[in-house]
Amino acid sequence: MKRLVPVALLVAAVMAACKQTPPASSAVAGVFDGTSGQWVDLTYPFNEQSIYWPTARRFELDTVSYGMTEGGWFYAAFDFAAAEHGGTHMDAPIHFAEGHLTVDRVPLAGLIGPGAVVDVSERADADYMVSVNDLQAWEGRHGELPNGGILLLRTGWGSRYGDRTAYLGTDLTGPEAVPQLHFPGLDPEVARWLVAERGILAVGIDTPSIDRGQSTTFDSHRILYAENIVGFENVANLDLLPEAGSYVVALPMKIQGGSGAPLRIVAFIPHS
Query: What integer pLDDT is reported at residue 1 of this predicted model?
Result: 44
Query: What integer pLDDT is reported at residue 26 of this predicted model?
Result: 72
Amino acid at 9: L
Number of alpha helices (DSSP H) and beta strands (DSSP E) in the chain: 6, 12
Give per-residue pLDDT as tens, 215-271: 999 999 999 999 999 999 999 999 999 999 999 999 999 999 999 999 999 999 999
The reported pTM is 0.91
Is the Cβ–Cβ distance between 127 and 182 less than 8 Å?
Answer: yes
Of 28, 91, 52, residue with least CA distance to 270: 28
Distance CA(226)–CA(223), nearest Å, equals 6
Is residue 271 flagged as an active site residue?
no
Distance CA(247)–CA(239), nearest Å, equals 15
Give per-residue pLDDT as tens, 113-128: 999 999 999 999 999 9
Of 207, 164, 153, 163, residue with least CA distance to 183: 207
Domain boundaries along the sequence of the chain: 8-52+84-270
Mean residue pLDDT of the chain comes to 93
Give per-residue pLDDT as tens, 207-228: 999 999 999 999 999 999 999 9
Greatest CA separation for the chain: 66
The class of domain 8-52+84-270 in CATH terms is: alpha beta
Give per-residue pLDDT as tens, 94-109: 999 999 999 999 999 9
Q: Tell me how far CA of residue 175 lies from CA of 106, 178, 180, 200, 259, in angstroms.
A: 30, 6, 10, 33, 20
Instruction: Single out the catalytic residue among 95, 142, 221, 271.
Output: 95
Distance CA(262)–CA(244), nearest Å, equals 26
Give per-residue pLDDT as tens, 41-87: 999 999 999 999 999 999 999 999 999 999 999 999 999 999 999 99
Phi/psi of residue 179, each to 5°?
Answer: -65, -15
Is the Cβ–Cβ distance between 63 and 52 less than 8 Å?
Answer: no
Confidence of residue 24 (pLDDT cuts 50, 70, 90): low
The DSSP call for residue 93 is G
Give per-residue pLDDT as tens, 149-190: 999 999 999 999 999 999 999 999 999 999 999 999 999 999
